[in-house]
A = this chain, B = another copy of it.
Amino acid sequence: MPANPPLNPLLHPAEGLTILDRLWYIIPWVHTCARDKCMATKPDPKKSRVSIKDIARAAGVSHSTVSRALRNSPLVNPETAAYIRQLAQEMGYIPNVIAQSLVTQRTYTIGVIVTSISDPFIDRIVEGIEDLATREGYSVFLCSSHADPGREIAVVESFHRRRVDGMIVIASRVGSLYTERLQELQVPIVLINNQAEGEYIYSVSVDDESGALAGVQHLLDLGHRRIGYVGCHFRPPSNRRRLEGYRQALRRAGLPYLSDLVVHPRTFSDIENGRQALDQLVAAGATGVLCYNDRTAIGLMTRAREQGVRIPDDVSVVGFDDIEASWYVSPALTTLRQPRFEMGHAAAEMLLALLAGEEVSDRVFPCQLVVRESTTPPGDRRT
């Protein structure tokens, strides 16, 4: 990691006349003459992609001059530079990033590893990463691990072969084990919501504990006294922290921790877990429930509908994440919002800072209580 990072050529392409280039789809014939010229200059039919050398030949200069001109080097005559740039433009030259990468040793790519792209929680994070990365001239490789640690490290190696400048792993199953290997990898890795045990240096996460605490506090404020928690057994660290927030809230309120009110279904589907939790919680007399995440809450709600348990009249429900669906299910879900897009942004920011040789420190985002329709004061139906 160089202390003084080079300019990203993808951000500062400097070919000139790019506005025209962007309009090819409106006036596709603008380049016709230029293409003919190119063909005349270089009649090889197989390899018609124009390189820096072709331009050099056409311009009657050396390829190094072309190289310089194209990257706006001050060490070249402004006039020849302009001519070269125009020529490049006309000939339809498109720089070969592969070749650039080989010599500069930077690819301006980052690898992003997710458990699943179609997870409504993750997609916004990816969007945040992609947004910042693109803006900074980086491209992102996306690969899913399907929550399999073996896959995860296989992907890391695959990214490594591609010489990505850095990686971001969402909900990593390997997590802190990267630390040991990091120096060997020589590639910075930032973790978002790490789901493996242990601490990891570069990470972005959400404040699970105070989030859960705020959720339970909300139920307490409404007057609930028998509050349940539906956990997630396959995301141990965040589940532990959310459970801790739950306990903390009860403790503060002087309420006992009742194990009947805490359930950890064993399926690997959030929705199914929610569905399975309902009956036990109702039996235990819960009037309010904090769920590990929105999908769990939604699953619980679908089951409630089938069972004739009314939400929120019979039991109030609080989710976690604030996925899009949470506000258009019926009743709309009260939840703890994770600023996912911002978290993606932050992770990308941290990675780029790392690449620029800067010091970085972990970021923990607070979550925000969003009150909707799924929570009300407890009814007196139970008597």
Binding site for B on A (CB under 8 A): 10, 21-22, 24-25, 28, 31, 35, 48-49, 92, 94-99, 101-102, 107, 109, 116-118, 120, 123-124, 126-127, 130, 134, 139-144, 149-150, 153-154, 157-163, 174, 177, 180-181, 184, 186, 271, 298-299, 301-302, 305, 324-325, 328-330
Contact = CB atoms under 8 A, between A and B. Distances in A.
A149 B26 CA distance: 11
A309 to B, nearest CB: 13
B107 A118 contact: no
B181 A28 contact: yes
A159 B95 CA distance: 11
Task: Report copies per complex.
Answer: 2
Contact of A154 (B22, B48, B127, B161): B22
B161 A94 contact: yes
A10 B98 contact: no
Given A117-B130, A139-B143, 4 more contacts: A22-B154, A96-B163, A299-B328, A305-B330
Contacts of A328: 271, 298-299, 301-302, 325, 329
A177 B25 contact: yes
A173 to B, nearest CB: 10
Given A98-B98, A328-B329, A143 B134 contact: yes
18 contacts: A10-B158, A10-B161, A25-B149, A94-B160, A98-B162, A98-B163, A99-B102, A117-B117, A117-B127, A117-B130, A120-B120, A126-B142, A139-B143, A141-B141, A142-B142, A324-B325, A329-B329, A329-B330
Given A94-B157, A271-B328, A325-B328, A139 B141 contact: yes
The 5 lowest CB-CB distance pairs between A and B, nearest first, are A118-B123, A142-B142, A330-B330, A325-B325, A25-B177
Contacts of A271: 328
Given A28-B180, A96-B163, A149-B25, A126 B117 contact: yes
